[in-house]
Amino acid sequence: MTNSTRGRHRDSRPAQTPLTILARTATENAGTVARRGALAAAAGGVLISTIATTAHAAPAMDLKTDVKTAKLNATDLQSLTAVAKQSLAAAPTVTVPVDAKMPMEMEVLGASAGAEGEKGDGPAVVSVDAPDPVPVGTQAVNIALNYLGITYVLGGASPSAGFDCSGLVQYVYAQLGYSLPHSSGALLGAGYQVTYPEPGDIVWTPGHVAIYAGDGMIIEAWAAGMPVRYTEMWQNSPTFVRVA
The domains located in the chain, with CATH, are 18-74 (no CATH), 136-242 (3.90.1720.10)
Q: Under a CB-based contact definition with an 8 Å cutoff, are residues 158 and 164 in contact?
A: no
Task: Kindly report, residue by residue over 5-49, the tens digit of the pLDDT.
Answer: 444 544 555 555 555 554 565 555 544 444 444 444 444 444 334
Q: How far apart are CA 54 and CA 242, in angstroms?
A: 114
Q: What is the mean pLDDT of residues 74-83?
A: 60
Max avg pLDDT among 36-40, 49-53, 93-97 = 93-97
Q: Band of the pLDDT at 133, cuts 50, 70, 90? A: very high
CA distances from 138 to 131, 158, 199 (A): 15, 20, 5
Identity at 31, one-letter amino acid code: G
Confidence of residue 177 (pLDDT cuts 50, 70, 90): very high
CA atoms of 231 and 219, how far apart (whole Å): 6
Q: How far is CA 150 from CA 168, 218, 220, in A?
A: 10, 15, 10
- According to the model, what pLDDT value does residue 4 have? 47
Q: Determine which helix (DSSP H) or strand (DSSP E) holds 28, and give its type and residue range.
A: helix 18-29
